[in-house]
Chain A
Amino acid sequence: MAIQTEVIALPPRSPSRLAALRLKDFPLIPALILGFIALVAIFANVLAPHNPEIGSLTARFKPPFWQTGGSAKYLLGTDQLGRDVLSRLIFGARVSMVVGFTAVIFAGAVGTTLGIISGYLGGWVDQVIMRLTDAWLALPALMFAIFLAAIVGPSMWNIVIILGLVYWTRYARVIRGEVLSLKEREFVRLAIVAGCSKWTIMYRHILPNIINVLGDWLRVKLDPQLRQL
């Protein structure tokens, strides 16, 4: 008995190198928006038509150009001190970017360090760090940040440090959880029986393995941080 078989042409396999370039799942629109803001922030002093901090009192409360009384000189109008709103917006992007990124990185560094130590060492160290985290989480974060800012005075680096100190707790929690499962992994045990010190293990075996979790969290936390400013 003969069996008829159909010849099915397999779809051609796409070469992997090209596939990577096809940007299939790449978030193109968000990347363009962010890229645009980043470029504006970087080239602020070239792009801004006026000095953002010095205005002329003769040109106060100018409306944007599309309203009556507005002019092309002040595209988005001026504020109560006669400063150009567009220029202030452009320079504001710079501050937002710098503060957002550095604050998140600072908070991430503090939180990761404490999280790894807490999770890996365990015992009373873990208890102390986690109770501190609990207490910290109980404070209303932004309120606390404003309170601290009122004490040390408002400067950009103060804000970075304050935001870092206010927001490290979540990183510590998440990282600690990740470390708890990592430290039971066989390669960590092998490092222990090979005589590595605790610090070597934390730095060489734990930290690299939590980088992807940390990366996700940095990204998640960066967004509200940028919006707050």
Chain B
Amino acid sequence: MSNSIPSSASYEPTRQGLPVKSGPLLEIENLSTHYVSSRGTRVVRAVDQVSLRINAGETLGIVGESGSGKSTLALTILRVLPPAARIVGGRMLFEGENLVQKTDDEMRHIRGKRIAMILQDPMASLNPLFTIGDQVAEPMRVHEGVGRATAWSRARELLKSVRIPSPETRVRQYPHEMSGGMRQRIVGAIGISCEPRLLIADEPTTSLDLTIQAQYLNLLRELQRAHGLALIFITHNLGIVAKMCDQLAVMYAGRVVESGPVSRIFNTPAHPYTEALLNSIPRMSDSAKRLTAIEGQPPDLAALPAGCAFAPRCVRAFDHCRIEAPPEFAPDRRRTARCWLAASDSVPPDMLVRSGTT
């Protein structure tokens, strides 16, 4: 497989359709997470007014630059934020339950059991002092209270399902005896060990080389199909998004600037930032031209400019962009864009604030 975007303008996702149940598995509404300095003088709006939804069995890609709030969003969903961070508003409905209002103890029983996560650096995610079997078995023992023997035999099954050769001997080995790709697949096995409904993968392939990446992505997709998992895929690789995801959310400065089905966003990006991101990808067809980069730096989240956060870097910004931040418009059904340009070719803004259209 290749990690580049197909050069043709009309990109169609190759993913096979999944039977999608009605009703979102996770629905996030106006979620805001801020980092507050100890005296409360500096507030970093890492996640600001984010609304997203993901259906069972679906894959949602979240892309954005470093510091755009992708990882904080993931940590917010699992409620494992660092002490300085506060969820200041919004709702997260997971299977109809609002995660924001759960107690820490209730959340602990959701983490790893109903929502699992694969971390940014799976290479370092294994405890060097315990065998693979112990670590794959741990979530089952914590959440389902199964005995050591049962958990181990299930761990062997899981290792087989993530294609670890000779799982019988591997369970008894230690992380240092595994290659990088294997360790990563083991982390994947830990993720699905309690058969969660939702798996959050936070840049799981950044530390791997390309062939291993491809293998791992294929494996993730297979697991997803086999278990009916919903997957939130956080990445800054749009090639992976094209390969893996049904839905896409583009984040910029803590906000979702555009969201919707991958194919439609790739074909007709509604937000200039998305457009610029897509233009900055190297393509096989026009190798002679220089890549178009996005000028300027991402804004300081503690001192956002007035109006649209992307306006200073936006080639299509006009006066109004610098005065008022755009709300979420809906250029068409199932799509949103935080851009005044999206307003012009659709219904007036107040009709279109997300809650009304979806």
Contact = CB atoms under 8 A, between A and B. Distances in A.
A68 interface: no
Contacts of B119: 186, 189-190, 193
Rank and list the top 5 A-B pairs by shortest CB-CB distance, nearest first.
A195-B112, A194-B112, A186-B124, A195-B111, A193-B117
B124 A185 contact: yes
A123 B38 CA distance: 12
B143 to A, nearest CB: 6
B50 interface: no
Contacts of B109: 195
A190 B187 contact: yes
Contacts of A125: none
Contact of B80 (A187, A192, A204, A209): A192
Interface residues of B, number: 29
A193 B196 CA distance: 12
Contacts of B117: 193
Given A186-B124, A209-B128, 14 more contacts: A122-B83, A186-B125, A187-B124, A187-B128, A191-B127, A192-B111, A193-B116, A194-B190, A195-B112, A195-B142, A197-B142, A204-B130, A208-B127, A208-B129
Contacts, number: 66
Interface string A187-207: 101111111110010001100
A157 B122 CA distance: 48
Interface string B69-98: 000000000101001000000000000000
B121 interface: yes
A195 B139 contact: yes
Contacts of A185: 124
Contacts of A191: 127, 138
Main secondary structure of the interface of A (DSSP, over half): helix
Contacts of A193: 78, 80, 111-112, 116-117, 119
A198 to B, nearest CB: 9
A208 B113 CA distance: 25
Nearest to B202: A193
Interface in A158-209: 185-187, 189-197, 200, 204-205, 208-209
Contact of A186 (B83, B108, B121, B190): B121
Interface of B: 78, 80, 83, 108-113, 116-117, 119-130, 138-139, 142-143, 187, 190
A196 B142 contact: yes
Contacts of A209: 127-129
Nearest to B140: A194
Contacts of A186: 119-125
A122 B112 CA distance: 24
A195 B113 contact: yes
B298 to A, nearest CB: 25
B143 A195 contact: yes
A187 B175 CA distance: 11
Contacts of A192: 80, 111
Given A187-B124, A190-B119, A195 B129 contact: no
B124 A194 contact: no
A162 to B, nearest CB: 34
A195 to B, nearest CB: 3
B234 to A, nearest CB: 13
Contacts of B120: 186
10 contacts: A186-B124, A187-B125, A189-B80, A190-B125, A194-B111, A195-B110, A195-B112, A195-B142, A196-B108, A209-B129
Nearest to B74: A193
A209 to B, nearest CB: 6
B108 A190 contact: no
A195 B108 contact: yes
Contact of B139 (A122, A187, A189, A194): A194
